[in-house]
Chains A and B, each alone.
Chain A
């Protein structure tokens, strides 16, 4: 093994790859654009949709209530709603989204309120339609307020203080620091993307450097040089590994910028309750830089494993196309454990710590939440390194087998 020769192969392969548009797309453009598009794009669309729905003055129908002019007057003077006269096909109109909701006022409502008979009001809405639900919520709030007023008035009439109905209040208080909340909610997402991009970043270069070389007839040229096959495979491996790490690094950087910029953008854009609505649609991601670096560090041996496995598999293929058929299904193998790790209840144990991908995903989730189980961290890093070295050894063995290099 010669470090100089590995370096010569590495330098050439990197130069060659960087001149290829397909590599630039898979290694640079996709990781860079994925998050702005996902985070800002979807976040923006979601918050816009919510904002528009919130701003809308819903068209509401009132059925009956002709004998309750006081209630009708209150409803009609409320500028939160736009009332239309009741029509018998109001259900169909709600379904057709011509009307957002309707209020069924019981007969003699005003009178019942005066003499204290309990009554029931129905609000008709279309479940699943955001605009209809929002209108129904607004109507419910309106009636809640009205009920509170009525209760207050009745209590006053009997000279009873209003707070008799509220002997105490209850409120939930969050004690988890923001980064731990992020770990539990979004923490699983960061390692998931890091792992996925480590894989996709390595995919194209691995195929290009092996099956691609076979297809283009340059492999035999390379093999005619005095450099040992081990040096060649290590130079190629380092190239694929670099692409994988670069892809993950760019993705993390882009993710950081997208979320930071995205949150600022949504927080200053509007005021009042709408801001809360908008920033709720925009995921909060307050993960420390050290946690992200720790995740990247844990992903390194995994990235090595991916690079070596992809290299070995694509080396076996005769053509680029054949390599693609072998490699594409592997993406599922990567996605499944990463997704499983995000499911509630999947915990880091001595057994899961030995499962590649899943273990890295689980430990990264903990790291993002600020939990450092050093025993597991060491064990997972070590195990991943062992798997990676084994995969590199397999790639070297395959590269020395002429039936693999010259498969007919």
Chain B
């Protein structure tokens, strides 16, 4: 489960850059076995929110509980229970696919037979045995994405955080990701993901949060949002929530 309470993040300015209030008092809940979609334009604060939940960044104020642990007080325990995948989480190009997944297994405390079982299981489930011994730099985008998925799953986390997981991928690879997200939910994991692709949200999400300028402006199941705002299409709702066609 994820429970964000008044999460805020301010990036202090420099001589060249003004201060940025990336996330402003965001609160929401995402239950186990549910997919929560964070919808927003570029620069809306999606990535920062997810990085805060994954404890890669520390909040300026507010906090969140992820899988039962506080992100401020127990960041390492949170990370041990989270699988984080984003466009910024690349692979070590000089490691083989198998070494990459094994490394993250070890970083998550797995060793010996347990590590072997976990990695073997994932390589079978994701059909990765063929390229297990190839360097990550020699893999196709689809293969790389599979390695990344295996990397996030190797410690069987309770919570999955995906930051724009289908960005820049072709239709086939995107489908692999979408199916994988669905499987995560079916196995009872808590899933949160950010995107600006409306169709993905409509297909996948149990709950939707619309974020704009760092604020969570609307939140609820798709049906609830439809009832609350004019238009049946998610895109119409989104445009309405973020302030109309002037955006």
Question: What residues make up the interface of A, taking CB atoms closer than 8 Å to B?
Answer: 5, 8-9, 12, 15-16, 19-20, 216-218, 220-228, 402-403, 406, 408
Contacts and interface: CB of A to CB of B under 8 A. Distances in A.
Contact of A220 (B58, B88, B104): B88
A8 B88 contact: no
B240 interface: no
B175 interface: no
A216 B90 contact: yes
Interface in B75-100: 76-77, 79-80, 82, 84, 86, 88-95, 99
B88 A226 contact: no
Interface residues of B, number: 30
Interface string B57-89: 110000000000000000011011010101011
Contacts of A8: 103, 106-107
18 contacts: A5-B107, A12-B99, A12-B103, A217-B88, A218-B90, A220-B88, A221-B91, A222-B107, A224-B79, A225-B107, A225-B108, A226-B77, A226-B108, A227-B107, A402-B57, A403-B11, A408-B11, A408-B17
Contacts of A226: 76-77, 79-80, 107-109
Contacts of B76: 226-228
B90 A403 contact: no
A223 B90 CA distance: 12
A227 B11 CA distance: 25
A217 B90 CA distance: 5
B151 interface: yes
Contacts of B11: 403, 408
Interface centre among B76, B77, B86, B91 (most CB of A within 10 A): B76
B150 to A, nearest CB: 13
A178 to B, nearest CB: 47
Nearest to B79: A226
B126 interface: no
A218 B107 contact: no
A218 B147 CA distance: 13
B111 to A, nearest CB: 8
B179 interface: no
Contact of A224 (B89, B93, B95): B89
Contacts, number: 66
A218 B56 contact: no
Contacts of A221: 89-91, 104, 151
Contact of A406 (B57, B84, B95): B57
B140 interface: no
Interface in B41-63: 54, 56-58
Contacts of B93: 216
A58 B244 CA distance: 98
Given A226-B107, A408-B17, A19 B94 contact: yes
A218 B92 contact: yes
Contacts of A5: 107
Contact of B56 (A15, A224, A408): A224
A402 B109 contact: no
Given A16-B95, A225-B79, A406-B57, A220 B107 contact: no
B246 interface: no
A218 B107 CA distance: 14
B12 interface: yes
Contacts of A216: 90, 93
Contacts of A16: 92, 94-95
Given A12-B92, A221-B91, A224-B82, 10 more contacts: A12-B95, A12-B103, A16-B92, A217-B90, A218-B92, A221-B151, A223-B56, A225-B79, A225-B108, A227-B76
B107 A217 contact: no
Contacts of A224: 54, 56, 79, 82, 84, 89
Contacts of B107: 5, 8-9, 222, 225-227
A227 B56 CA distance: 12
Given A220-B88, A224-B56, A403 B79 contact: no
B92 A402 contact: no
Nearest to B58: A402
A196 B57 CA distance: 38
Contacts of A15: 95, 99
A217 B17 CA distance: 23
Nearest to B85: A224
Nearest to A406: B57
B137 to A, nearest CB: 10
Nearest to A221: B89
Contacts of B104: 221, 225
A223 B76 CA distance: 10
A5 B76 CA distance: 13
A315 B56 CA distance: 16
A67 B196 CA distance: 109
Contact of B89 (A217, A228, A403, A406): A217
Nearest to A218: B90
Contacts of A227: 76, 107
A346 to B, nearest CB: 42
Contacts of B109: 226
A19 B77 CA distance: 33
Contacts of A19: 94
A5 B95 CA distance: 18
A223 B52 CA distance: 12
A8 B103 CA distance: 8
B195 to A, nearest CB: 18
